[in-house]
Structure 1
Amino acid sequence: MANTSTIARDGGTPSVPARGPRGATPPRRSSGLPAWVVPYALLVPGLLVIAGLLLYPLYQMVVMSFQNVGLRQVRGAPAETVGFENYQKLIESELFWSSLRNTVVFAVVTVAGTLILGTLVGLLLHKLGKKMSTFLIVGIMAAWATPQIATAIIWRWLFDAESGVINWLLNALPDWFSSLLFGRSDWTGEPWLNDAFTIYIVLIIAVVWASFPFIAVSILAGLKSISQELYEAARVDGASAWRIFWKITFPLLKPVFAVLTVLSVIWDFKVFTQLFVLAGGTSNREAYNLSLFAFTQAFSAPPKMGMGAAIAVVLTLILLVITFFYVRQIVKTEDVR
């Protein structure tokens, strides 16, 4: 039998290779990267996708905002650099300022309405039993999952002047009640979608209807994480429901409200599809917001894609500034705590 043991050169005890316990997995070789580098290396694929899908188009948009881009440039002609001329025209345009006003007012009202309604529904769902809560969640999430174009078409039909359900319901009210409440009793042929003010009323209703389910479900998820012992202790001390909300629920869910507020601001500032459908296209200039104004400048004849890009850059900067200051206030609040 061959001797497989290794004899020490100095004649000492033979050295036998160390063996681990039976079935043990041999240690893997190290990748050679420092431990702090590994997380960043894992993020590289995702960052490359983001750069390709978001950052590069954003860069191209900024470059285009300093150029005169029309049909000739789309067909291959070189773009003419015009510097800040597009931005100067925007500042001098009354339509830009009216579009900016419509955008800001609409976003403020819609964000507030969405957060309030979503919070109330979330609190209600938290009070219900499991089966009923699940049933209602499925129902309201169907509204949130409905495509925006379908939502806009439904609300346009509801407020149609000739065959809309809203006019029919208002005409069905008793004349004395309708006159007392609205100052009129006949709603036949009421053109809700001809005037910019009423268009935005319908738009606010449509967007809040489609957006509050996401807020409600998010608030419900946050409420599930709060210990019920806090509420029981507050009720024992005689605290009202309103005081319990402001002293327990709201402080503990402040990070959730912060994220939902930022997301709602971003979504509502960029509303386009619903407004385009409700306004019947781009003919009603008084109803423009920044998104519809940018679309009109970029794609209506003659196309001015440089102007459209400049409007999009302004809208992006507004959202970045709002998000930055809001997140900064949140961070300061958390640091104080």
Structure 2
Amino acid sequence: MTMRTQTVRHRRRPRTPYLLITPAVAILALSMGYPLVWQLVTSTQRFGLAQQFGKAPESVGLGNYVTLFTDSYLWTVVARSIAFCLVNAGVTVLIGVLLALLMKAIGTVPRLILQVSMLLAWSMPVVAAMTVWRWLFDWNRGVVNWVLTWGGLDFIGHNWLQAPLSFFFVATTVIVWMSVPFVALSVYAGLTQVPDDVLEAAQIDGANGWQRFWGIVVPMVRPVLMIVLLLQIIWDLRVFAQIKLLQDAGSTPSETNLLGTYIFQLGTGSQDFGMASAVSVFVLVLTIALSWFYVRTLLKEDA
């Protein structure tokens, strides 16, 4: 085989993978590209209820963005959303890692029971799960109030959703409960790839459990941890259904709005789809900004 033949084959070989993924990339670009372009265009227009019935939208240029960035309430919602997102993502990953370590340490039968329980919690529809959680924290018939009152505390008729702080405590409890199974199962899959002989060798050399965890386990599952943390930040920043259903149960939306519910309020509530699109574009940019550090780190590791 001549050198020229080897060079030709080497040049032709990479084309096949690109051809195979081209249809999937095209479908993904079309399904995601059209809504994104529509939002970008709508964010520069005055688009309200009349435009929904055929009236031509009026172009306002960057007027929606000027109004957006000069609105003090928006920045309150942004700060609230970022704080809520980071707290939820951190707590979710922490509990998920602890459960993954627990699954690694226990026997087969209890591990299967724990895994099935988490899968059931993870697969439960949001509306069904929220129905249960709203009943648990109900101010009149809630199990949580009953248990706390039975334990000697005065929680008779306590409304968990009235004050913003307790509202977000309930929201965090619900969202973490629904997100932990994904993190725990993902991290556990990564832990199964850590060689036992390496851990045994470190133990023989005198490393204690904490040193083995930070010196061997964490570096080996670090890519998994970064991916699940990145996904949790993205998901928790865009959370909507849980917050909206809790607001409908008896809270003040202006005091508990996050970015998702604020966009819903602007669009569906106020029929101001131009402003809602502008906030949506802002959320996209904010999501990229928050996740860029993790994406850049992953790209460096793959390079």
TM-score under structure 1 length normalisation? 0.83
**Residues 1-337 of structure 1 mapped to structure 2, 5 A cutoff:** 34-174=12-152, 185-280=153-248, 283-301=252-270, 303-332=271-300
Identity of aligned residues (%): 33
Residue 293 of structure 1: how far off its partner (Å): 0.3
Distance 1:223 1:271, change over 3 A: same
**Higher relative helix content:** 2
**How far, CA to CA, are the matches of 2:68 and 2:164 in structure 1?**
21
Letter in 1 for 2:268: F
**How far, CA to CA, are the matches of 1:221 and 1:329 in structure 2?**
21
Structure 2 equivalent of residue 25 of structure 1:
none
Letter in 2 for 1:51: A
Residue 90 of structure 1: how far off its partner (Å): 1.4
Letter in 2 for 1:152: M
Structure 1 stretches of 4+ with a deviation exceeding 4 A read: none
TM-score under structure 2 length normalisation? 0.92
Residue 165 of structure 1: how far off its partner (Å): 0.8
Any unmatched runs of 5+ in structure 1? 1-32, 175-184
Letter in 1 for 2:150: A
Q: Which moved more, 1:266-275 or 1:134-143?
A: 134-143
CA RMSD in angstroms, aligned pairs only: 1.7
Letter in 1 for 2:77: S
**How far, CA to CA, are the matches of 2:33 and 2:124 in structure 1?**
29
**How far, CA to CA, are the matches of 2:281 and 2:147 in structure 1?**
43
Structure 1 equivalent of residue 8 of structure 2:
none
Q: Which moved more, 1:48-57 or 1:282-291?
A: 282-291
Structure 2 equivalent of residue 16 of structure 1:
none
**How far, CA to CA, are the matches of 1:153 and 1:238 in structure 2?**
51
Residue 36 of structure 1: how far off its partner (Å): 2.9
**How far, CA to CA, are the matches of 1:118 and 1:283 in structure 2?**
31
Letter in 2 for 1:297: L
Residue 298 of structure 1: how far off its partner (Å): 0.4
Residue 283 of structure 1: how far off its partner (Å): 4.7
Q: Secondary structure at the match of 2:248?
A: coil
Which is greater in Rg?
A: 1
**How far, CA to CA, are the matches of 2:178 and 2:83 in structure 1?**
19
Residue 94 of structure 1: how far off its partner (Å): 2.2
**How far, CA to CA, are the matches of 1:133 and 1:283 in structure 2?**
42
Residue 93 of structure 1: how far off its partner (Å): 1.6
**How far, CA to CA, are the matches of 1:300 and 1:194 in structure 2?**
21
* Length, aligned pairs only: 292
Residue 37 of structure 1: how far off its partner (Å): 2.5
Q: Secondary structure at the match of 1:140?
A: helix
Q: Secondary structure at the match of 1:160?
A: coil
Contact 1:194 1:279 in 2 (8 A): no
Any unmatched runs of 5+ in structure 2? 1-10
